[in-house]
Amino acid sequence: MTKTSTEQTQPAPVARSDSSTAALMTRGRWIEVARICLVAFVSLLYWRNIAPIQALWVAVAIGLYPLVKVGLLDLLREHKIGTEIFVTIATGIAIAGGEPLAGAVLMSIILVAEFIADLNTDRARASIKALIGSVPQMATIRQEAGERIVPIGELKVGDVVLVRAGEKMPVDGTVINGNASVNEAAITGESLPVEKQPASEVLAGTVVESGALDIRTDKTGQDTMFARIIALVENAEDQQAPVQKLADRVASWLIPVVFIFLFVVYFVTHDVRKIVTLLIFTSPAELGLATPLVMIAAIARAARNGVLVKGGLYLESLAKVNLLVFDKTGTLTAGRPEVVRVRSLEPSLTEDRISALAAAADRRSGHPLAQAVVAFAAGRALTVPEPAAFEVVQGRGVRATVDGLSVLVGNAKLMSENGIDVPALDTAMAGIAVFLALDGKTVGILELADQVREGAREAIIRLKASGIRKVVMLTGDSQRVALQVAAELGIDDVEAELLPGQKVESIARFQKEGYRVAMVGDGINDAPALARADVGIAMGARGTQAALEAADIALMTDDLGKIVLVRALARRSYRTIQENLFVGVGVVHVLGITAALMGWIGPIQAAILHLGPDILVFLNSVKLLRVRIEDSTSPPLP
């Protein structure tokens, strides 16, 4: 794979991957271009009776050299007869059979096809790195002696790094001073900048658009999120899709079959010219182009949008999925409880007074429910007094003294243990009830619920429209809460109050019923279920190593619309491969072989026509980088 980069010479320079054609034209590729042009030029001179046959032989030998080299290495190392050996034999037969020009043209076409395929494969790979971003090679660190510029290889955990406007983050870390707008599109695919202030986390490879930050280094080098993403993308091609493996297997046994077929034809016709023509149309070169280009282009397109796909295998599997399983908390819901309703049981106490008293008692507690009550009061701009006394009752709530009143805030068990009666709850309540008691009497109820994630219902509707037959929620939450969320989102089936192992059992049962299952979860608690599903999709994996390792596909943000995008991209990729194999290879080659057997075309015409499927497969594959993907808002690659 060819990689090129340029580095700025200013402090904290930024490395930039360049995916332009000019940048990918290395010295070796220019030599390939010169070799192709030489063969084509000498072939033209020979055709016009200007150059002698000996000149054509020399040009053919020069052109065949890289094909013979690669073919022999594949034969010796992998015991595989590839396209290169096939073309070498075909060219030799053409020359021996008195059709040297056809052999030269055939070889030239194969050289052009392989050159274009290699160039655009590397271009797609370079696009991935260019879109994900890169880290600087130098960093400015702050020490007692002052600022100092050092190579990033010298950075250690705990070092304080200064990053100014226009520079990229060299490390994963935590902001300890400063405020800035940071563009995280390289990691998450989101174009809007994110405001960072002290205690915010930042990732290597993201860009400070305005402001400046002092960052405490948490992770460096290969431990950063950027490095892990790059490693995943670079290894993605190793996970070949079944259709890609099938194409490779077909290509491996097709060559011997072709030679047997040609031997039979020659035995019947004794027509070397026809054999040369058939050799041109029985070349398996397009099978080698039909799938890899598509998968690399699709992975690049997904990475551009903050979706990491670990290989073509998972794209094909996602395209065939017909049952989608969601975890609830942190996936379909935000995972953060919010106060959705306040009830006063005393006419003399308003809802605002109930909220303020509960927030006063809870303000020193670190429990998520307590923090939600405090946030609710702050959102309503209520005056929240400081408690005179405060005590946490583990697993129950808090006890405090506020404005001279004895205050209890917590669950029903806290109330009953203190001899306080609680009213019957509304059976339609969607969340958790937190009771407020003053001086031994329940005076208010705050209802808290985990809010449905924005865009979740729309995403499920679009996924069903894409061919998902059934959407299921598997959750450890209560049946009542799960059913209410499912009804709001249009989910078909719910299994609640499940342990992690029971989620795995449910997925196995769906698979036995004949479904192809994708599981969407947070990548940590749901790791066993993600691993058991045909495709595991981790939500919001940008900060967790576990999420990246557990899932086959990782969404770098908590946007459920990304699942719609990658599903549409997977289906488009699979359809593109089918088009390549059926139209670009099947139809064109069947028609060509038929025309050759009927004697309608000769070697020269066949060699020229053979370029058609090569161009067709190539164009059909690389269009995934730019074409608008149906049912998604994915922008094309630049």
Q: How far apart are CA 92 and CA 279, in angstroms?
A: 11
Asked whether the CA dihedral 430, 432, 436, 441 is positive or negative, the reply is positive
Quick one: tokens of 525?
């608690």
Quick one: tokens of 10?
């200013």
Q: State the residue for tokens 């160039």.
A: 119
Listed in sequence order, the DSSP H helices in 172-271 are 185-188, 225-235, 242-269
Sheet with 307-309, edge to edge strand ranges: 307-309, 553-555, 535-538, 517-521, 323-326, 470-474, 493-495
- The answer to whether the CB of 470 falls within 8 A of the CB of 495 is no
Q: How far apart are CA 449 and CA 337, in angstroms?
A: 5
Burial of 220 (0-12, 13-18, 19+ CB in 10 A): buried
**Buried residues in 267-287 as b, exposed as e (16+ CB within 10 A):** eeeeebbbbbbbbbbbbbbbb
Q: How far apart are CA 30 and CA 2, in angstroms?
A: 13
- The answer to whether the CB of 280 falls within 8 A of the CB of 102 is yes
Angle separating helix axes 561-579 and 242-269, nearest 10 degrees: 10
- Strand duo 405-410 + 397-402: pairing: antiparallel
- Strand duo 493-495 + 172-183: pairing: unpaired
Q: How far apart are CA 123 and CA 210, in angstroms?
A: 31
Burial of 218 (0-12, 13-18, 19+ CB in 10 A): middle
Give the total residue count for the chain. 638
- Strand duo 333-344 + 441-452: pairing: antiparallel
Give me the half-sphere count of Cα atoms (radius 13 Å) on the Cβ side of residue 144.
0
The angle subtended at Cα 297 by Cα 293 and Cα 300, nearest 5°, is 145
Q: How far apart are CA 139 and CA 151, in angstroms?
A: 6
Quick one: tokens of 422?
């609680």
The angle subtended at Cα 249 by Cα 308 and Cα 283, nearest 5°, is 110
Catalytic position from the list 122, 159, 327, 477: 327
Quick one: tokens of 447?
């209802």
Cβ atoms within 10 A of the Cβ of 325, count? 30
3-state DSSP assignment of residue 407:
strand
3-state DSSP assignment of residue 111:
helix
Q: How far apart are CA 636 and CA 304, in angstroms?
A: 9
Contacts of 481 (CB under 8 A, 6+ apart): 430, 431, 449, 450, 496
Q: How far apart are CA 482 and CA 7, in angstroms?
A: 52
Q: How far apart are CA 90 and CA 46, in angstroms?
A: 20
Largest Cα span, the chain: 111
Q: Active-site residue 327, yes or no?
A: yes
Q: Catalytic amino acids?
A: 327
